């Protein structure tokens, strides 16, 4: 039963031998299959002339089948290679009620079966029985099998750290075990890509990952609570549990930007699943608007708001993001329906088609969006002229007819109708175009909503599960559009305290109001930062309920300077010191891109290097990074420096959010600096 560590190591070696044997068997099998394919192809080539159609097809089919078996073997081999590195990370001994013999259950990233003995040696972390590992300590326990609740007792529990097939350590379970391994994991320096947390998933996180009952699941979690990690593990879980009904191509993630997407890109492959498609609200908008409309990006909108925004801009943004605005748009649609279409008599070849007939057809086709009705009305007119007068309308007359019908409606162009909407609203100033006929970002989703109403847009039926990260950054209008475009199940996650645009953000109530049939789960424990950093950030945003993990480090330091030059100098010194530290990454996080640019120039002048992230960046490489709070959202660094924390730089509600986001990116160390007076947000 592998009681001692020595026995565990011996057992590990036996497992590795079996895994290696399986790999060798697959290699043999693939080699044979390859030979079979080549022989079949050669045979086909040689005897092509003597074969009939059916014989040729039979050979091609069998080559296809062997190739498919080959593909399956390759992916199995990939899984075995992963197991060879880390075969398992946990074990528990479960004595099922009514049985006398308990069996050790080893839990790993994948299943592994001894095919000769037909014995499961490693259980996939997503298997029903593996939930015991996450949900229970020693004592009574149960799991839900496909059909029953299976009860029993956990008599032993262990966790292992195995890397490269070598056991680095093993922890025997008592009640605090989870914390021991978790502490070790969290103490580690950051990595360039987000890691899987499969060995240390916490109970409340497990409940979210395995929640299959909720049709839509909304997760509000404090900074660093593992929302993104959990969402990715949930995808892996659903792909495993519902493999007959959902595949990775049918899952879509809406994430804030390409940098973030690159940062999280390793988690699913590490868990043995294919990556899933990722998009952003802007990419999606372009798709829905068929790339025909130019608009400002979200990043630019946020930048404008951080730079003394005019009150009118703030008003335009907040008006256009609320549910009331949508109601107005719906009223406008009713107005267009009732009063917009001005049906008139039409004369074709001296034959009159009365206006009432045209109106009747307009109303009869009300299951079509308005702009899609005109062709139908035209068809009806053609048929009726033939029926009533026995006259067949010519091609030219037909084109003329269509044009006449279209003219009965104020416009058929989305842009014009959108503009008309503001005139109808009695507030034309609410629409302000940017240079080059570019729309403001706040107009993009209202435009899509109007397009949907006027022309109809086909929903993305192929997507069977939609994940929306950073939910707080999307407006009610955006949720309405998403809800119509994606009729599938959704997992929506975010943190209202990390909104980068307070004028258009959505809180939980708004989201729940729009995404009906949703369950909400809250995560309060914060895993990313040390106790000291989490407590510090809680003072910046009062009322945040984050519970810090008991992992201690240095107190955050705030340094004041007499001149900006001195402040920049110290920032550069810190960058030099970082090279000698144990840390893998440092993030210098500014409020605005302009400030980041200033620092970048100073860094280069000093002959130092740093990776600057801006709105055009597409990947995250860790190490030394200079960026803005907006782009740093979702990322994390061993050490964070927040420069320019003065009362002139951080003074508005939007600034406060940025400061909070910047500070919560720090895992182990946080330094802030200012010139002149410290921002009030840091005085407590």
User: Site residues (CB under 6 A) for ligand ATP?
Assistant: 182, 185-186, 195, 197, 200-202, 205, 221, 223-229, 495, 498, 527-528, 634, 636, 664
395 marked ligand binding residue: no
The least CB distance from residue 632 to ligand ATP, in Å, is: 9
The least CB distance from residue 641 to ligand ATP, in Å, is: 18
64 marked ligand binding residue: no
Residue 56, Cα to own-chain centre: how many angstroms?
A: 47
The least CB distance from residue 529 to ligand ATP, in Å, is: 9
98 marked ligand binding residue: no
Closer Cβ to ligand ATP, 77 or 193, answer by number: 193
The least CB distance from residue 584 to ligand ATP, in Å, is: 12
Strands, DSSP E only, in 564-623?
Answer: 586-590, 611-612
226 marked ligand binding residue: yes
Separation CA 676–CA 646 (nearest Å)? 7
210 within 8 A of 101, measured Cβ to Cβ: no
Closer Cβ to ligand ATP, 160 or 332, answer by number: 160
117 marked ligand binding residue: no
The least CB distance from residue 610 to ligand ATP, in Å, is: 22
Closer Cβ to ligand ATP, 255 or 321, answer by number: 255
Separation CA 633–CA 618 (nearest Å)? 14
Give the residues across from 548 on adjacent strands: 526
| CA angle, 634 then 186 then 262, to 5° | 30
228 marked ligand binding residue: yes
Alpha helices by DSSP H, listed for 188-248, are 203-209, 227-241
The least CB distance from residue 448 to ligand ATP, in Å, is: 27
Alpha helices by DSSP H, listed for 242-322, are 258-264, 267-270, 281-288, 298-305, 311-321
Please identify the residue of the shown chain whose CB is closest to the bound ligand ATP.
Answer: 226
Separation CA 293–CA 282 (nearest Å)? 12
497 within 8 A of 660, measured Cβ to Cβ: yes
The least CB distance from residue 654 to ligand ATP, in Å, is: 18
Closer Cβ to ligand ATP, 380 or 495, answer by number: 495
Provide the b/e sequence for 617-634 (b: ≥16 CB within 10 Å): beebebbbbbbbbbbbbb
**Non-local CB neighbours of 127 within 8 Å, separated by 6+ positions:** 111
Separation CA 23–CA 1 (nearest Å)? 26
390 marked ligand binding residue: no
For the record, the structure tokens of 47 come out as 């005897």
The least CB distance from residue 185 to ligand ATP, in Å, is: 5
The least CB distance from residue 495 to ligand ATP, in Å, is: 5
For the record, the structure tokens of 323 come out as 């549910």
Closer Cβ to ligand ATP, 348 or 632, answer by number: 632
Closer Cβ to ligand ATP, 2 or 537, answer by number: 537
Alpha helices by DSSP H, listed for 169-210, are 177-187, 203-209
| CA angle, 432 then 434 then 439, to 5° | 75
Separation CA 74–CA 568 (nearest Å)? 53
89 within 8 A of 157, measured Cβ to Cβ: no
Closer Cβ to ligand ATP, 206 or 404, answer by number: 206
361 marked ligand binding residue: no
Closer Cβ to ligand ATP, 107 or 186, answer by number: 186
Q: Which of 521, 529, 527, 523 shows the shortest CA–CA distance to 545?
A: 523
Closer Cβ to ligand ATP, 12 or 208, answer by number: 208
Give the N- to C-terminal CA distance of the chain in Å, as an integer: 56
Q: Enumerate the known binding-site residues.
A: 221-228
Q: Enumerate the known binding-site residues for ATP.
A: 221-228
């Amino acid at each position: 039963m592998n009681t001692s560590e020595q026995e565990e190591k011996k057992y590990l070696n036996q497992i590795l031998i079996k895994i290696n044997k399986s790999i060798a068997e697959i290699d043999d099998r693939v080699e044979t299959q390859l030979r079979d394919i080549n022989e079949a192809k050669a045979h086909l080539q040689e005897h092509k002339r003597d074969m009939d159609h059916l014989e040729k097809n039979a050979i091609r089919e069998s080559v296809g089948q062997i190739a498919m078996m080959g593909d399956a073997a390759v992916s199995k081999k990939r899984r075995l290679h992963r197991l060879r590195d880390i075969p398992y990370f946990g074990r528990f001994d479960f004595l099922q009620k009514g049985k006398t013999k308990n069996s050790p259950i080893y839990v790993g990233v994948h299943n592994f079966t001894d095919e000769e003995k037909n014995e499961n040696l490693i259980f996939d972390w997503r298997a029903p029985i593996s939930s015991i590992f996450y949900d229970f300590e020693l004592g009574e326990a149960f799991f839900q099998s496909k059909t029953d609740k299976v009860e029993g007792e956990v008599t032993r529990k262990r966790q292992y750290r195995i890397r490269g097939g070598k056991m680095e350590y093993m922890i025997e379970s008592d009640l605090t075990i989870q914390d021991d391994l978790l502490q070790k994991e969290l103490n580690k320096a950051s990595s360039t890509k987000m890691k899987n947390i499969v060995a240390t998933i916490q109970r409340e996180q497990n409940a979210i990952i395995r929640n299959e009952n909720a049709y839509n699941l909304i997760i509000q979690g404090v900074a660093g609570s593992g929302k993104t990690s959990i969402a990715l593990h949930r995808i892996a879980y659903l792909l495993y549990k519902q493999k007959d009904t959902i595949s990775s191509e049918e899952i879509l993630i809406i994430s804030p930007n390409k940098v973030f997407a690159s940062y999280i890109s390793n988690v699913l492959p590490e868990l043995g699943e294919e990556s899933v498609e990722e998009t952003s609200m802007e990419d999606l908008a372009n798709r829905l608007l068929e790339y025909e409309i130019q608009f400002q990006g979200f990043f630019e909108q946020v930048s404008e708001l951080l730079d003394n925004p005019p009150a009118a801009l703030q008003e335009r943004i907040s008006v256009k993001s609320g549910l009331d605005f949508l109601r107005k748009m719906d009223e406008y649609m009713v107005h267009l329906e009732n009063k917009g279409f001005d049906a008139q008599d039409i004369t074709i070849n001296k034959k009159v088609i009365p206006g009432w007939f045209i109106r009747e057809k307009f109303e009869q086709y009300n299951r079509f969006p308005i702009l899609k009705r005109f062709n139908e009305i035209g068809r009806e007119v053609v048929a009726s002229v033939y029926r009533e007068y026995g006259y067949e309308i010519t091609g030219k007359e037909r084109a003329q007819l269509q044009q006449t019908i279209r003219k009965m409606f104020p416009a058929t162009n989305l842009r014009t109708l959108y503009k008309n909407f503001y005139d109808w609203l009695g507030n034309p100033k609410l629409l302000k175009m940017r240079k080059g006929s570019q729309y403001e970002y706040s107009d993009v989703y209202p435009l899509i909503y109007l397009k949907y109403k006027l022309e109809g847009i086909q929903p993305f039926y192929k997507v069977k599960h939609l994940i929306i990260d950073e939910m707080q950054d999307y407006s009610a209008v955006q949720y309405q559009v998403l809800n119509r475009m994606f009729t599938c199940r959704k997992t929506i996650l975010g943190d209202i305290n990390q909104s980068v645009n307070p004028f258009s953000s959505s809180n939980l109530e708004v989201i729940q109001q729009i995404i009906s049939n949703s369950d909400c789960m809250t995560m309060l424990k914060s895993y990313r930062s040390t106790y000291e950093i989490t407590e510090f950030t809680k003072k910046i945003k009062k009322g945040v309920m984050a519970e810090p993990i008991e992992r201690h480090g240095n107190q955050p330091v705030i340094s004041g300077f007499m001149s900006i030059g001195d402040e920049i100098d110290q920032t550069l010194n810190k960058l030099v010191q970082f090279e000698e530290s144990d840390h893998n990454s440092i993030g210098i996080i500014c409020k605005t891109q302009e400030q980041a640019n200033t620092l970048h120039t100073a860094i280069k002048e000093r002959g130092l290097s740093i990776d600057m992230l801006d709105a055009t960046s597409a990947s995250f490489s860790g190490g030394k990074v200079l960026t803005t709070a907006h782009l740093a959202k979702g990322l994390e660094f061993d050490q964070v420096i927040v420069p320019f924390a003065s009362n002139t730089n951080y003074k508005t509600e939007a600034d406060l959010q940025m400061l909070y986001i910047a500070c919560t990116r720090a895992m182990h160390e946080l330094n802030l600096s200012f010139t002149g007076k410290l921002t009030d947000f840091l005085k407590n």
